[in-house]
Each structure stands twice: as C-alpha cells, then as structure tokens.
Structure 1
Amino acid sequence: MSTKTNAISRSATADLSGVSVSLQDSTSSPALTRRSLLGGAAGLGAVLMAGTPAWAQFRVEIAGVGASRVPIAISDFKDEGTTGQPLAAIIRADLERSGQFSLVPGQAGMTETSQPQFVDWRARAADALAAGSATRLADGRFDVRYRLWDVVKGSDLGSESVPVVAADLRLAAHKIADAIYQKLTGDRGVFATRLVYVNKAGPRYSLRVADADGEGEQTVLNSPEAIISPAWSPDGNEVAYVSFETRKAVVWIQDLRTGKRRKIADFRGSNSAPAFSPNGQQLAMTLSRDGGSQLFVINKDGSGVKRLTQTSAIDTEPVYSPDGASIYFVSDRGGAPQIYRMAASGGSAERITFAGNYNISPSISPDGRTMAYITRVGGGTFKLCVMDLGSSQVQQITDTSDDESPSFSPNGKLIVYATRAGGRDVLMTSTLDGKVKAKLATPNVADIREPAWGPFGN
C-alpha cells in the first residue's frame, strides 16, 4: 500500500473506497490512492468458478491474551493422520483465535468413547475436554466423531458424528469447533463461515473466498485491472464488487455457486461502494451519474435506481444497519470525512463520529450496537476503532498504523481488517477489545486487502 491520501477529494467524483475517478474523463484509468489496487494492464483475465484450487494457503499467527478464557484440552483425534487434515489442530486454532479459550495439552489415545478421569483434568487446570476419531467408510467418506465434557461439573456435554467426503474434512473440523464454542459460550461460532478479499500479486488482481481461518482459498475472479469493495449478499451465495476491467468503475454481482456474474451499475461516471440491504433485494452504492458523488439505492437486478442524498458533498461507503432501517455512510459535508447515519429511504442525516478529523469505512455489528471504523491519527497513522453506538464511547484496538476495511464476524465477536505488517498487506482478526489478534499471512509475495466476513450458513 502506498501512503494514504484523503479518501474524499473534491477533485474526484467518488471515493470508490480510495479510488478517485476524474469528472473530466470518467472512462479513463482511475487515479489511484492508498486504498486502491495499484496498476495493471488492460483486459480481463479468466473468470473462475468458486471451486478453483488455491495458489497458496494462509498460516495463522495468534497474539495476545484475553481477559477471561475457558481452558480447554483438545486431544488429537484417533486416526486423523489417515485423513490428510490435522483435525484437532484446526479445532484448537479456531477456539484460540476466538479469544474465548486457552489451550491445555491433550492426552494421546483419547477418543469419544473414553472415560476421562475428571480429577486428573482438573489438576491440569482444564475446564473442558474434547476428543474424537476419524474413520474411513466403505464409500470413501470419513466418519468424524467427537465428544465434549465439562470437567468442572464432571459431566458429558454430548457427542456428534459427522460423515463427510475428504474435501469437506476441514469444514467438518470448523463445524465441530463451532459446536464446542456454542456449547461453552452460548454464542454461535463463526469458524465454518467464509471471508472474501482481494489478492494482488505483481500486476494482477484476484477476488478470493476462503475459510474464516484463511485456509482453503478459492479464486472467484482474476483480472489485470483493479478489483475493490467486495460485499456479501445476506444468504452468502453472491458477492458484489467493483471492477475496473473496462477502465472505469463498474459494480458487478457474482454468483459463487455457478461463477456467473452480471453488471448492476455501469452508469456514466463512477459506480462504487456496493452494500446489500439485509433482505438481499437492493444495494446501496455511490454513483456520480448526476454529477458529484451521491448515495443511491438500486434493485439487485439493476432496476429501480433511486437517489438517496442531495448534497454538494462526496457521500460514499454506505452500509445498512442490521434491521435495514438506517444507512451509515462517509461524507465530507462538514469539511472532512466523517461518518453519518440517515434513514434507509433517504432524508436528513446525523453525524456519528466527532473524535478526530478523518473517520471512514464504517462496519456495523450484527446486533446493531457497535460500529467499527478507521480513524486517522496525526498526519498518516490509520487505526481501527470500535464505537459503542449507545454511549458513543470509542476505543482504538490496534497497535498497527495502516489499518483498513473492517468487517464484523456474523456473531459480532470478532473483526477482520487489512493492515500492513513486515512490509506486506495482510489480514488480521481481532476481538472487540483488541486483546487477541490473529494474522492471516500468506507465504508468497501477494498483498491481501479489502476483506469482508460472510454470513452464517454459507
């Protein structure tokens, strides 16, 4: 990433989440700021369906200690070596990354049929215990089984059998981690959900989908031109994004099940920052077709375009509240980029951010109570913040200085964001208090940007 410039410039028609398109030449290649994807030759590369194998996979690096964590032991699953996947290790990493659990060493040879000696496990300071096995079935599938125990109460919390094909073994491990997480915390786990993000390797860009831990990435779209602003549909079957393959900003929607895609907004000027409504039938976005950069809403089939804002300011980065009643967005109507809120049908807007003179990229938690966003501190340091929307209290939760694009997990307990570490653009997840973070770092030279966390059930 280059040095971030003002994301809202009056010499441009739209912020485009960092890509500014000149009013004088709306068909030319865009002028690029820090939040854009740099360079690229003309033309579109191959459009690939969601089943395309990954170039490389992530490794997860976890740092920090949560204030209150459940100590849990996850023993290696019996015969997991025959599956090609480290099932227990995947479950352990999921739980640790959540910030809700600390790991206690497991015990070799334990399975879901074992009778644990709870006194011994209490002596090891474990509050919970899980063990399991993986058995190859006659039809080539694997029967993955596990059992969870409450060590403190000395009780059996239940077991489950998950028959899966080999390709779904990682998913099975994530679902087991979800079940354990929910049983012990009361909240739904997000380990079986997915991320979408932009990968830049050399002059080429790709839109990719991966598991919530960054593994199992699949390429959705390859292009030599910039791709920005991916956004999930509420059902997790589609992704909207902005592509510059025609040398201007155009909004597309792509079906992840079939790979088919369609243009949604290709009006004169720029088309940017799409966001699905909670019912999935409309998208809010920024268009400059009438001059200036204003917020519009459009049906997902491209019909029914309606203008929402009527100002001389640059209005961009809209996101819906979970109930669909409001839209949060960024505007420089007060002289500098700040976050505002208005009714989803348009009308007057109220300012939400007041601390600092540069606040962008709002993301609203699934319960509607918290907003994550990026603030500029000093001349060029960009920090991830969270705001309690009830009290307006704000907390900076990162120690990095180049943060971008926050997105809440569907249970509202984690935030994924882009930042810069070790000279590379990387993805991080963080608990809302900033105490436990995980870096999803690729082993190649690619830069990873613009993450969005997908919904449950995809």
Structure 2
Amino acid sequence: MTPDISRQRASRAQAQETARTRNLWKMLASFTLVMLTLMFWQSAHAQLRVDISGTGAQQYPIAIADFTGNDAGRTVAEIIRADLTRTGRFRLVSASGSELTSETPVNYDDWRNRGADHLSYGSITRSADGRYEIRYRLADTVQGGQADGVAFSGTERELRRISHQIADRIYEKITGVRGVFSTRIAYVLKQGSQYELQIADADGQNPQVALRSKEPIISPAWSPDGSRLAYVSFESGKPVVYAHTLATSQRVPVANYKGNNSAPAWSPDGSQLAVVLTRDGLSQIYIVGADGQNLRRVTRSPLIDTEPTFSPDGRSLYFTSDRSGSPQVYRTGLDGGNPQRVTFNGSYNISPRISPDGKTLLYVTRREGTFRIAALDIASGNETLLTQGPDDQSPSFAANGLEVLYAAVQNGRSVLAGVSSDGRVRSTLSVLNGEVREPTWGPFLNAN
C-alpha cells in the first residue's frame, strides 16, 4: 500500500468518526461507516484506574487483613479489597494493626464488636524455587466459625490471579452468587497508526496484547469457554471475521465473503457464530460454523438487520433492525420465521445483549439527545435506564449477570465504565493518554 493511499484511508476514517457523533444510526446504514467510526482508543501501555460511586441495596461488613509472612501479603489483600469494594455490595471494616496468620485463632466477639460480620485473613510464604504458597481463611463472626479456607500455589506473576480467585470465593460465600473478579475483559485500542486487541483482568489491570495490526480491529466477542475471541480485521483490505485461539495465537477466517463481514456472536455451545454479511445486498444475519463451514441465512429483510446475539438457550437471536422505520431490537428463531419486536420505548434502540439467565435485555437507547444504556425486563416489559449518557455504547453483561461493562464519554474522553445491573453502583476505568472502545466481558473461567 502506498503512503498516499494510507493517508487517504486515514483521512476517510477521521471524517467518518466525526459523522458518527452527528448521527449514530448512519453507522448501521453503512457497514464501512460502522467499522471505521466505533473506534475511540487508548495508548498501548496506559493503565486503568477504578473510581467507584454508589452502593448496593445491601452491604456486607467485612474486614480484610493483610496476609502475613511476606511483603506480597499486603498486595494480595489490597487487590481483594479493591475487588469487593468495586461491587458496592461490601463495607470494609478496618483491620489495621492485626497480625493474623492462617493458623491464628480468631476472637469472633472482638471482630463482631468492631462491626465486621466476616473476616478475611491468611499467610503467604515463598519457597526456595521462588513459588508462593497462599493460605486463605474466611471467618464468620456472627456464627462464630470458619466459613471458608483454601491454599493456593503460584508464581509471582500469578499472585494477582490468585487474589482475584480469593475475592471470588469470598463474594460467593457471603452473597451466594459466583464472583467475576477472575474473569477477563477484551477491548480494542489504537496507538498512532497501530491497532491492538487487548485482554485485561476484570478490574482493567494486567493488559495483554492478543493481536496487533496496522489496520482496524473491531467487534471482539468471547467464545463461551473463554479460549477464543472472534473479531473483525481489515488486514486484507476488507472486513473479515476471524476466530482467534488465545493460547496459541492461531486463527482461522470464519467469514470472508464478498462484501462486508461483520458483528460476530458465538452460540452458547461455541459451535457456531452469527455474523452479518452483505453478500446478497444489504446487511443480513447468517449463521456459520466456528470452522467457517455450513453458512446459512437467517433474516430476510429489504432493510438493515445487524448486531445479532444468541439467547442463552441458543434457540433464538436478538438483533437490531430498522424494518419498523427506526432502529429497534427484534427477536427471531434460528430458522428466521417472523421476527418479533422487543423494544418499544423510544425511537432508537440498538446493540442488544441478553443476560445469562435470559431475563434481562441490555441495549443502547437514545433519549433527549443522549445515548444511554437501558435494561428491559423481558417478562414485564419494564425498562430501567442504567446510565446517564451522553454517549454510552457497547454494553456487555458480566458472567453472573450482576454487572455491566460499557464504553462511555466523560469530560470529553472515552472511557471504560461499569454499572450494576440495578443501576445503583457505577465504576469508571479511566484511561490515561488515550481512549478505549468496544469492551466485552468474558465468561467464567474453569472452576478453582
């Protein structure tokens, strides 16, 4: 590609980004515009900082003591505290000055009098081969006994992952719901003329590059087992859908047909993807095997059908269409059939995402000139506006369905943001020296 052609492409992308701000629906009317206007980026080595506001309907008081025996014990405890605090469901009770090893008898009355219903503590030691052994305990001061306890072993690089796993155990033991702290998120960023697909911990820390390219990368989507990412790449000069195995960095083109190939979404069993193709005219939804075989068309509309996502049972698809005259969310069986409209509040609803239990639908809605994330109770039809705008995009449920990741604009900057599924608790992952877009929350990893 000549320098002149590269500059011309960059100029077109810049102009299309400006067009997106003026009219988001135009990005659905033209796939090229979709591809080149959704990208607000972050510098390659930027760190993400978490800010929290709001609290849950119920807060659990807990003390989290530094793990003893090694300097890393303070770091482990700090990660656990940050994880639990971010949910808004826990109230931290100070454990300052406490020297508790994994074998220390707990004075339950004393901790209960301090206001802590639970106490997390433990110890960490380093062996001659450099590996760490972490012994964790959770005391229930109300019942007067040990609620949980387990030992972990890992390298220094694995301490953050182990800390998240401990936080997951605490969260589940106290709330009865599986925690998502050891899950991962994916997003796309740009530095200069280079694009990167990055994977990070659920708190935005420890970012790793899965793919780097001089051409745009967009629409990342996690496979149900978390081993692969599907995405769209422009490396070949046109949009192509790939399935990328993270452990080996090997990938295969899943959709590389005439015209545009876009918007991949995995089936719940990981055997198929829904994709959007223009091979037969306007954007329509197809299903294809994860190996790129057995393509078949699902929707047949004279207008635009796009942004598919599977229902949790794998029997139907939610998608965006303007077949009613304005963009709305519809649902259809995998055989196509007669799609049923799902959203009716407002004249602009796009980017559907269904909760893991199939009861709640997320989407981007335009209200009074601002773009916000809404949640629709499928059974009752009741809608809740979770965010305040002005330009909130790309919602994604956590694997437990209790938190939502999305892209937002705050103070003129594009950031990663989170909100609880009831809208009570909001968190911001502030991006330094850049912008980030198209976040997607990964599934539960293998059980501990």
TM-score, length of structure 2 as denominator length? 0.91
Distance in 1 separating the partners of 2:229 and 2:172: 27
Deviations 1:6-50 (A, max 9, x none): 44449945377x33xxxxxxxxxxxx43x2458xxxxxxxxxxxx
Structure 2 residue aligned with 1:215: 205
Aligned length: 426
User: What is the DSSP-based 3-state SS (H/G/I as helix, E as strand, rest coil) of the residue aligned with 2:84?
Assistant: helix
Matched position secondary structure for 2:247:
coil
Give the superposition deviation at 1:223: 1.8
Partner of 1:435: 424
Give the conservation status (yes or no) of the 8 Å contact 1:296–1:309.
yes
State the distance in 2 between where 1:182 and 1:345 align.
39
Question: What are structure 2's unaligned runs of at least 5 residues?
Answer: 1-16
Query: In structure 1, what residue type is equivalent to 2:398?
Result: S
Q: Which residue of 2 aligns with 1:270?
A: 260
Structure 1 match to 2:439: 451
Could you tell me whether the CA contact under 8 Å between 1:9 and 1:15 is conserved in 2? no
Deviation per residue, 1:39-72 (Å, 9 max, x gap): xxxxxxxxxxxxxxx7243222111122211011
| Equivalences for residues 176-255 of structure 1 within 5 A | 176-255=166-245
Query: Contact 1:14 / 1:314 at 8 angstroms: preserved in 2?
Result: no
Name the SS of the counterpart of 1:236 in structure 2: coil
User: Which residue in the other structure is 2:328 paired with?
Assistant: 338
Secondary structure, counterpart of 2:123 in structure 1: strand
Counterpart code for 1:276: W
**2:13 alignment partner in structure 1:** none
C-alpha spacing 1:6/1:343, structure 2 compared with 1 (3 Å): farther
Out of 153, 164, 168, the position equivalent to 2:154 is 164
Q: Which residue does the alignment assign to 1:408?
A: 397
The secondary structure found in structure 2 opposite 1:207 is strand
Question: Deviation of residue 126 (structure 1)?
Answer: 1.2
Q: Hey, which bits of structure 1, 4+ residues long, moved more than 6 A?
A: none
On the 8 A contact 2:120/2:137 being kept in 1, the answer is yes
Determine the structure 1 residue equivalent to 2:134: 144
| Structure 1: distance between partners of 2:70 and 2:381 | 48
Tell me how large the CA RMSD over aligned residues is. Answer: 1.9
**Counterpart check, 1:97 vs 2:114:** no
Provide the TM-score with structure 1 as the length reference: 0.89
Native 8 Å contact 1:8 1:15 kept in 2 = no
1:131 Cα deviation after fit? 0.5
Matches of 2:237 and 2:334 in 1, distance apart? 31
Per-residue deviation, residues 89-128 of structure 1 (Å, max 9, x unmatched):
1001111112321211114312222222222222222111
Q: Among residues 157, 162, 165, which one is paired with 1:175 in the alignment?
A: 165
Amino acid of the residue matched to residue 87 of structure 1? V
The CA distance in 1 between the partners of 2:55 and 2:28, in whole Å, is: 45
Cα distance between partner residues in 2 of 1:386 and 1:199:
27
Match of 2:31 in 1: 14
Q: Find 2:337's aligned residue among 347, 350, 356.
A: 347
Q: 1:217 to 1:10 in 2, by over 3 A?
A: closer
Asked whether the equivalents of residues 201 and 447 of structure 1 are also in contact (C-alpha less than 8 Å), the reply is no
Residues 7 and 346 of structure 1, relative CA distance in 2, 3 Å threshold: farther
Partner of residue 287, structure 2: 297
Aligned to 2:406: 417
Counterpart of 1:450 in structure 2: which amino acid?
E
Distance 1:76 1:133 in 2: 8
Q: What amino acid sits opposite 2:268 in the alignment?
A: P
Unaligned segments of structure 1, at least 5 residues: 20-31, 39-53
* Matched residue type, 1:236: G
Question: Which secondary structure state, in structure 2, belongs to the residue aligned with residue 430 of structure 1?
Answer: strand
Amino acid of the residue matched to residue 365 of structure 2? T
Match of 1:14, as an amino acid?
Answer: F
User: Shift of the alpha carbon at 1:360?
Assistant: 0.6
In structure 2, what residue type is equivalent to 1:128? H
Contact 1:253/1:264 (8 A) holds in 2: yes
Report the CA distance between 1:204 and its aligned residue. Answer: 2.5
- Residue type of the alignment partner of 2:61: P
TM superposition shift of 1:425: 1.3
Structure 1 residue 359 displacement after superposition: 0.4
1:98 alignment partner AA: T
Whether contact under 8 Å (2:39, 2:436) holds in the other structure is no
Aligned counterparts of 1:253 and 1:384: Cα–Cα separation in 2? 28
Over 3 Å counting, the alpha-carbon distance change for 1:304 and 1:349 in structure 2 is same
Q: 1:325 aligns with which of 315, 320, 330?
A: 315
**Matched residue SS, 1:4:** helix
Q: Write out aligned runs for 1:86-125 (5 A).
A: 86-107=75-96, 108-125=98-115
Deviation (angstroms), 1:197: 0.6
Relative contact order, higher structure (CA 8 A, sep 6+)? 1
Alpha-carbon distance, 1:82 to partner: 4.2
The 8 Å contact of residues 7 and 15 in structure 1, kept in 2 or not, is answered as: no
Identify, as 1 or 2, the structure richer in helix. 2
User: What percent identity do the matched residue pairs reach?
Assistant: 48
- Structure 2 CA distance, aligned partners of 1:359 and 1:410? 23
Could you tell me which residue of structure 2 aligns to residue 368 of structure 1?
Answer: 358
Alignment-mate amino acid for residue 121 of structure 2: A
